Amino acid sequence: MHINITKSEVGNNKGSSSALVRYLEKENCQINHLKNEPEYWFNSQKLDIQPYEVRYSIDHNIAKLSKDEAKFFLINISPSENELLFLKEAYGDEGAKQALKEYANTIMDAYAKNFKKEHVKGNHDILYFGKLENHRYYTHRDEEVKQGLVKRGEQKPGEQMHLQIIVSRKDISDSIRLSPLNNSRGKNVAHSLKVGQFDRSAFKQAAENQFDWTFGYERELKETFEYANTLKHGSYDQKLELKEEEKRVQMLRRQQKLEIEQQQHQQRRLQLGGG
DSSP 194-237: HH----HHHHHHHHHHHHHHHHT----GGGSHHHHHHHHH--HH
Three-class secondary structure of residue 130 per DSSP: strand
Strands 2-6 and 162-171: unpaired
Three-class secondary structure of residue 9 per DSSP: coil
Three-class secondary structure of residue 17 per DSSP: coil
Instruction: Give the type of residue at 76.
Output: N
- Tally the residues of the chain: 275
Q: Which pTM does this prediction carry?
A: 0.83
Could you list the pLDDT tens digit for every one of the 275 residues in the chain? 999 999 877 778 999 999 999 999 988 887 655 556 789 999 999 999 999 999 999 999 999 999 999 999 999 999 999 999 999 999 999 999 999 999 999 999 999 999 999 999 999 999 999 999 999 888 888 999 899 999 998 889 999 999 999 999 999 999 999 999 986 555 555 555 665 689 999 999 999 999 999 999 999 989 999 989 888 888 888 888 888 888 887 787 778 777 777 887 888 888 777 65
DSSP one-letter code for 37: P
> In CATH, what number does 2-219 get?
3.30.930
What are the residue ranges spanned by the domains of the chain? 2-219, 234-275
21-to-72, 75, 112 alpha-carbon distances in Å: 12, 13, 22
Query: What CA–CA distance (Å, rounded) separates 253 from 245?
Result: 12
**What sign does the CA torsion over 250, 254, 257, 263 have?**
negative
